Amino acid sequence: MYTPRTGGSKGKYTPFSTGRIGSSASSRRSSAGIFGSSSGARRSPFPAYSGAGTRSPAVGNRSFLQTSVIAETAQYTVENYGPSVPVLISEALAMADRSVSMSVRIDPSGWACVVCGRRLFVWRYKNTFARATFCKELALPPSELSHKAELVCLIPASPDNQTVAVMAASPEGIIRYWPSIASEGAYSESSAELNGEECFSLTQFEPYGCILATTTNQLLLLNLADSNTQNTVSCHPLKPSQGVLARVSSLFFGSQRPQSSSTLQRVLSAGQEDGQGVVYVLQEDILQKWLVAEPGAEKVVFEVQLGNMIKKGFARQSACSSIDSLRVWMLDLQIVSESALLLLVAATDTSRPSPVVHYALVLIPLVSASGAGPDQISAFKMLSLTAPYQVSEEESLLDYRLLVASPSNMACHVYSRNMVICCSGITESSCSFDNVDFSQPGNSILGAGSCDGTTLFFSTNYGLVTVTATQQEPSFLQDVSLAEQSLRLDQSSIISSPAPPQDISSLGEDKTKGLKAAFLHACRQNLSQAEAIVEELFPTSAPSPMETGSPMDAAVAKLSQEVIDDFPASDPRWAESIPQDTASSTTSLILLHQLEDKMKAHDHLLSFLKNVGIWDRLHSVVVRESPLSTHLLLCEHAEKLAAAMALRSHHTMYPNLADGAISKVLQKRGQTHTPAGLTPQDVFYREVSGIHEIIENLVEQEKDILSTELTSSDTVSVINNVNTIIQGMLKEAWHLRQSKALVYQSLSRNVSKPTLQYIPWTASTGPKGIRSLLVQQHRVTIEQGIPNGEDIQSRGALYQQIMELTDLILEGYVTQLESIGLGSGEDSSQYEELEQKYQQERHVLIMPLLEQGQYERAASLAEKYCDFGILVSLCEVTDNEERLQRYMNQFATKGFSDFVFKYYMDEGKRGKLLSQPFSQHAELSEFLQAHDHLSWLHDVQVKDYIKAQGTLKRLSAKETLSLAKKKTLLSLSKLTALACDEVPEAELEDINSELDVILHQEQLPKELVQKMELFNSEGDLPVIDPEQLIWLYISEKNTDANEFDFKKALDLLQYLPKDDDAKIDHLRLNVWCKAILKDDWSADRGTGVDPLEHYEDTVFFRTARLILESGADLEYYLPDVDALLTSDELKPLQGNANFQFILRAGYEQMERIVA
């Protein structure tokens, strides 16, 4: 289910490994290691054949060959084809360095070639009567890029194909042509003059020559120039038709596309039409049809964009709400008839949190109603193949090709370097897929082709092999297709049951029995009778049930469970245990085959429900005390069948563990007595609906064993084996769920129907739920498995199991969260609570891998499930800044940058926060908007001085605790304002005013500050506003106040709010009153002394003189003399005539000076 993105010495991860590909359980039976087992690989389900084992020679052109059978499945046979690969080629492949590119081209003429570095081997693989196979080595042109077989054409040089000419191109466009390979030195060489473009493919286009295509979609026709002395190759670029006809063509078919950088996928030669050669070109989602008469006489007949048609096809069979969120790829193109093409496509829904790539085969008719080219698709078949989408793995995810060996039988093969998917009945209502695995150590597929309608693959380990359909009696799968010509009533297990279809009137109110009767009629091809019974049971005129547990849903759920829990009627040992009137779905006596038959029967049930119109009317039933969609319940039943088959496969490897767990299950069920002739295994595997119970008992069995005295190696072995069994079961179930997601989806998509919460059985909750058991197993592996691992191999295997257990647990959480998020009217608190629990569990499960130094495994999980905390910690531990920046780009839309910035803030790593690269400046600026104390530093760094000035000004306005900090902030604000020319002058004046107020506070007498205890705990002054400063300067505690103090108090009046004149006047009056009261005005002046001279040294007059000397406006500073004399503060002096005289005289004198 999960494979790390980097695998050390194992090479680059590909999606074709058994760990990540999703396929149906029925088809996966044939995909497990068909070429023998190896350590760590799954066991082959095929019978083994010795090297001496041979099959009877096939008919036709292969009648002279002996073929060794390599492996067989129920549907396909894998065997060698033709004579052995020449020793020259075998040695070259065996001795080649791993970095050397190797590829093979198989031509229908019976010739093949192998490209190994610069070496080109050409040999005859068909109808070889000589004792030694003919093989010739040729030298390809020098190149700095890798040669490939796609750039080699094998051209038959005689009517019987016994001789061949070879044309090869280097990636740079150097063409070599050998008219005969008998003399490897006799060749001509020319250049295609590509001007730096790279060659993509070389396609045979007889009788006109060959077509060379570049990666930038340039097409060139290569043919032999007229020459009497040598075979010179000429190059003619193919261009769309020009002139009047081209303009007329554009009216019908649209303007022609110029040469572009779009990806070229396939160039196909398709014979002739009206005496002209036909070429189909697929580039990205554009399909072109060319007609070529001769060099210089070519035209584009049509050009069609297929993207929207393919998106709509995927959307119809998926839960995608909008085709805009679908991303599609055209992977390959093949001809299936003169009127149709077959297209291999892939797509993923980018709107999903964990996007999955789905693959499909699309049949495209070449003639539309308008006659202008394809405008619709005639068939759309989803493959049983899925893979989680990762941008870093896109190249390998799209590395699939299509092969149609014989268009007449409508069968094809989809293949990669590691796998072949056999597809049959692609135009039928029910097609089948069978996987053949080529991923054994040292093995891969280097090329594919066909000869005389036979599919051929070149395997590194086995040379030329063919994968052909097995000749056999019609199978149950053919019965399921309801095809009359393939139905065998005497062999169909479900129809040959002892329970014949009953008349509906005899069934009473039992809806399940009635539905079963209709099902049996459908199996006997009595579809009309089946529909009549269903109509009587569940009339279409009645509204579809919208409540949980309706009679229709209950009947379908019960029938589905009966199918998977069916008794094997043909096994005589079960004769006394089978209930009467049971319709058996299996005739096999072998447990694994019984499970496979049940899977086919369940598929048949699905087809029946859809054919009679029940499927889209289903709603939900109660399962595990909660409503569950009936569609998902049926999918769960199929998943349990897949899990049961996986368990059965592992049972033979770990019999003691499995048998002990099965005994515990049967004891808890109360089935302590096993019927005569049957084994506990027979009883347990019969009831597939309870297959999940073995997981709890495997964990208990493990606990019992670990409680005894074991060696370290035995402890590791027990834990490893239990993990293997559990993971094998659950991964098979997960694969089926992913690959059959579209199959089990209702096509009605009623938007008014609320989506129910979906908790898969593989993630069931509760103390004994699968989720809890997996968490427990994770803990056991960490606490008891890892410490007892004695070597790197054993610990590595356990770490991988920890990773896969974590993946299974978190995948269950994600599925549940997605279902709640899709639900209408769901309480958001339920989602938030589950999400919080998921995030906590995610961190706890992944963190041990990080702590144990398993960085890549931890990274893979954290990337998949977006655990940003793990990813940041990983980058910090490994000091990998480059990786961190990659994550910032990868998860740009998911808030990863903000998470990193917050992490640096919380950890106090301000330097790292502010030293982000240029690419992160925009995100950092947005983040720092809520952090003014740092945002101005970033603004200064990026030279946004206006923004920095505003931020610093705001910070200074908020600062009240530290006068020094406020002064610093204001100084920096002034500095940034001066650094740019766009700050208004008024802004600078405002900053200067605030700095002046701070200066006045700094000049407070130290004795006053100490008396007032103004210093805070850090020894700094708090910020005091101007009014408070005025009162401090004139307070009685400022015992040594002089004219300078009162002048400062008066100066501070200008910093008070201008809209409150009364307060300003009141404060001004108070300042002068306090100044007057600083002196004694009742003292005797003596005889002959000028009163003004006697009192001019008072604080009042000294302050006034100081104001005059400073050049300030004395009228602004001085209050009205009458207001001063009548103020409450001076009441004690109001009866003093001497004081009033001196004050009025002083005012008169000052007025004269000012005037």
Residue 475 has pLDDT above 60, yes or no: no
At residue 822 the predicted structure's pLDDT band, cuts being 50, 70 and 90, is low
Task: Give the span between the Cα atoms of 721 and 716, in whole angstroms.
Answer: 8
- Looking at the chain, the whole-number percentage of residues with pLDDT higher than 90 is 28
pLDDT tens for residues 361-382?
998 888 765 556 787 888 888 8
Residue 1114 has pLDDT above 60, yes or no: yes
Residue 480 has pLDDT above 80, yes or no: no
Closest-CA residue to 890 (of 918, 919, 916)? 919
In sequence order, the 6+-apart residues with CB closer than 8 A to the CB of 666 are 672, 674, 680, 683, 684
Rounded to whole angstroms, what are the CA distances from 824 to 163, 349, 813?
A: 70, 21, 19
Please report the pLDDT score of residue 660 as a whole number.
Answer: 93
Average pLDDT over residues 1108-1121: 83
Please report the pLDDT score of residue 812 as a whole number.
Answer: 93
In sequence order, the 6+-apart residues with CB closer than 8 A to the CB of 567 are 574, 577, 578, 579, 582, 584, 686
Task: Give the span between the Cα atoms of 298 and 289, in whole angstroms.
Answer: 11
pLDDT tens for residues 610-663?
888 899 889 899 998 889 999 999 999 999 999 999 999 899 889 999 999 999
Residue 913 has pLDDT above 50, yes or no: yes
At residue 391 the predicted structure's pLDDT band, cuts being 50, 70 and 90, is confident
pLDDT tens for residues 148-175?
999 999 998 877 778 889 999 999 999 9
Please report the pLDDT score of residue 64 as a whole number.
Answer: 35
Residue 212 has pLDDT above 90, yes or no: yes
**One-letter amino acid for residue 1014 of the chain:** L
Question: What is the residue-averaged pLDDT of the chain?
Answer: 79
pLDDT tens for residues 737-754?
988 888 888 765 444 455
Please report the pLDDT score of residue 751 as a whole number.
Answer: 41
Average pLDDT over residues 532-560: 86
Task: Give the span between the Cα atoms of 412 and 334, in whole angstroms.
Answer: 10
Least confident of 29-43, 107-121, 1047-1061: 29-43
Least confident of 259-263, 519-523, 705-709, 903-907: 259-263
Please report the pLDDT score of residue 171 as a whole number.
Answer: 93
Please report the pLDDT score of residue 1139 as a whole number.
Answer: 82
Most confident of 218-227, 409-418, 551-560: 551-560
Per-residue DSSP letter, 371: S
Please report the pLDDT score of residue 491 as a whole number.
Answer: 33
Cβ atoms of residues 154 and 113 within 8 Å: yes
pLDDT tens for residues 945-972?
887 787 888 888 888 888 888 888 888 8
| Consecutive H or E run containing 480 | helix 476-480
Q: Cite the beta strand spans of 242-375 per DSSP E.
A: 264-273, 276-283, 286-294, 297-305, 326-337, 340-349, 356-365
Average pLDDT over residues 919-941: 68
At residue 29 the predicted structure's pLDDT band, cuts being 50, 70 and 90, is very low
Least confident of 5-19, 69-83, 263-277, 1017-1031: 5-19
Please report the pLDDT score of residue 496 as a whole number.
Answer: 39
Average pLDDT over residues 455-469: 89
Task: Give the span between the Cα atoms of 816 and 587, in whole angstroms.
Answer: 38
Give the residue carrying structure tokens 């398993």. Answer: 854
Least confident of 350-354, 990-994, 1090-1094: 1090-1094
Least confident of 654-663, 759-768, 820-829, 868-877: 820-829
Least confident of 332-336, 366-370, 383-387, 1043-1047: 366-370
Please report the pLDDT score of residue 1155 as a whole number.
Answer: 64
pLDDT tens for residues 61-91?
443 344 577 776 667 788 888 888 888 888 8
pTM of the prediction?
0.58
Residue 54 has pLDDT above 80, yes or no: no
Task: Give the span between the Cα atoms of 197 and 214, in whole angstroms.
Answer: 7
Query: Residues for the chain: how many in total?
Result: 1155
Task: Give the span between the Cα atoms of 885 and 278, in whole angstroms.
Answer: 50
Largest Cα span, the chain: 155
| Consecutive H or E run containing 718 | helix 712-739
Task: Give the span between the Cα atoms of 926 and 928, in whole angstroms.
Answer: 6
Residue 27 has pLDDT above 90, yes or no: no
At residue 1034 the predicted structure's pLDDT band, cuts being 50, 70 and 90, is confident
Average pLDDT over residues 1098-1102: 85
Closest-CA residue to 118 (of 84, 145, 89)? 145
The HSE-up count of residue 418 (CA atoms within 13 Å, CB side) is 20
